[in-house]
């Protein structure tokens, strides 16, 4: 009897030992899972900044990694439209676009570069009224997306080609979201404290846009944040608008690039899934997130494509200063006039 009791006791000890090992393994898996959620949450915050709503790209976590809104459209682009790189080792240029209500015009356009070697991030805003030549005609840069679609092309690819031709900067990835994703993401992040620079009042029923903001420091929810970044009636038009957007970028990044917002990952994921198109795979997202985490807000530089506002045939445009643009591309993005990387 004693021997049987002894054998049973040995079995129980082995069982408890195996259970302890399994518990430890589960804890380690949860920790790894949590780290990846943090990485992707930070990517989200950075890219919504680039869009005036940087949390839009990737509230994606491991359990959903195979249902990411990774776009198969990019695989149908021409071979030389996107130039893929290893984000963890090479600098990566991402074209970020925010579309209007109909999804036709890109009212927000930025090139965001992440450079892992230098440990920096640079965001260049592109005025929506920038005059460019595309498919034989002159257009505002925000119209190229719609022009491409009318010609049977992919709107995102048309915008990428126009930006590459204008700046000489190779584009490695793109992210396109609409303002619904922007509004809802800002709400999930708890809004932003921001000093509105002037009285903003404007109504556009066609765009379902009703802007009505008072000047001064205040709390902006998703709706008010959209009003801020879409307001255009400034003394210097689109150029002043971009300055306000960039100030909003910095305020958002400083307030939201914090680990406490990890709990918002699932909600942000649900928000952006139906309202985003991107060429970035889950692996790209994780690599990008690691770089953003290591860079932090202090090493994010924002610049605006140089140009002057002018009227041509009664239409307002921003005419690019090509010499100043080339200098900016060399200084901040590291490419010569032919798009070759400068060491």
Q: What CATH code is assigned to 2-182+237-306+321-333?
A: 3.30.420.590
The confidence score (pLDDT) of residue 337 equals 84
The model's pTM is 0.73
Contact 43, 288 (CB under 8 A): yes
Residue-level pLDDT at 227: 92
- pLDDT score for 188: 82
> How far apart, in whole angstroms, are the C-alpha atoms of residue 180 and residue 80?
31
pLDDT, position 31: 43
Q: Looking at residue 262, what is its pLDDT? A: 55
pLDDT at position 33: 45
Nearest to 244, CA basis, from 4, 52, 2:
52
Q: Give the pLDDT of residue 43.
A: 43
Residue 327 sits at φ, ψ, to 5 deg, of -65, -40
The Cβ of residue 143 has, within 10 Å, a number of other Cβ atoms equal to 21
Which tokens go with 57?
């790209």
Identify the pLDDT of residue 224. Answer: 95
pLDDT score, position 198: 95
* pLDDT value of residue 259: 60
Domain ranges of the chain: 2-182+237-306+321-333
Question: Which whole-number Å values give the CA distances from 296 to 124, 200, 251, in the listed order?
Answer: 18, 32, 13
Q: What is the pLDDT along the chain (343 residues), one digit of tens a residue?
A: 555 655 565 566 555 555 655 555 554 444 444 434 433 433 444 454 444 334 333 333 333 433 344 555 777 888 889 887 777 678 899 998 988 878 888 988 999 998 888 888 888 989 999 999 998 899 999 999 999 999 889 999 999 999 999 999 999 999 888 888 788 888 888 899 999 999 999 988 877 789 999 999 999 999 999 899 888 888 887 778 888 988 887 788 778 766 666 556 556 666 666 777 888 776 676 667 666 666 666 677 888 999 998 999 999 999 999 999 999 999 999 998 888 888 6
pLDDT of residue 292: 67
Pairwise CA distance, residues 54 & 115, whole Å: 18
Q: Which of 114, 129, 169 is nearest to 300 (CA)?
A: 114
Contacts of 55 (CB under 8 A, 6+ apart): 41, 44, 45, 47, 48, 185, 186, 188, 189, 256, 264, 268
């Amino acid at each position: 009897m004693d021997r049987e009791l002894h054998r049973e006791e040995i079995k129980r000890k082995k069982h408890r030992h195996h259970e302890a090992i399994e518990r430890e393994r589960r804890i380690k898996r949860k920790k790894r899972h949590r780290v990846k959620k943090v990485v992707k949450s930070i990517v989200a915050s950075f890219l919504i900044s680039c869009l005036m709503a940087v949390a839009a790209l990737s509230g994606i976590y491991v359990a959903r990694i195979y249902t990411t809104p990774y776009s198969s459209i990019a695989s149908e682009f021409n071979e030389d439209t996107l130039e893929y790189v290893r984000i963890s080792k090479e600098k990566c240029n991402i074209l970020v676009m925010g579309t209007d209500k109909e999804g036709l015009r890109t009212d927000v356009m930025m090139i965001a570069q992440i450079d892992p070697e230098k440990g920096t991030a640079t965001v260049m805003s592109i005025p929506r009224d920038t005059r460019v030549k595309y498919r034989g005609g002159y257009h505002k840069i925000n119209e190229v997306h719609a022009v491409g679609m009318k010609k049977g092309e992919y709107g995102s690819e048309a915008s990428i080609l126009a930006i590459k031709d204008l700046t000489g900067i190779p584009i490695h990835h793109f992210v396109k979201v609409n303002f619904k994703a922007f509004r809802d993401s800002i709400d999930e992040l708890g809004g932003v404290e921001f000093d509105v620079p002037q009285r903003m009042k404007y109504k556009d029923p066609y765009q379902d846009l009703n802007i009505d903001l008072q000047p001064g420091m205040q709390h902006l929810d998703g709706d008010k944040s959209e009003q801020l970044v879409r307001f255009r009636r400034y003394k210097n038009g689109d150029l002043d608008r971009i300055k306000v957007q960039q100030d909003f970028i910095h305020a958002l990044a400083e307030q939201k690039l914090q680990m406490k917002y990890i709990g918002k990952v699932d909600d942000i994921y649900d928000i952006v899934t139906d309202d985003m198109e991107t060429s970035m795979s889950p692996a790209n997202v994780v690599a990008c997130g690691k770089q953003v985490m290591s860079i932090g807000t202090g090493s994010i530089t924002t610049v605006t494509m140089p140009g002057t506002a002018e009227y041509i045939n009664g239409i307002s445009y921003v005419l690019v200063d090509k010499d100043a643009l080339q200098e900016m591309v060399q200084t901040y993005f590291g490419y010569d006039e032919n798009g070759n990387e400068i060491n």
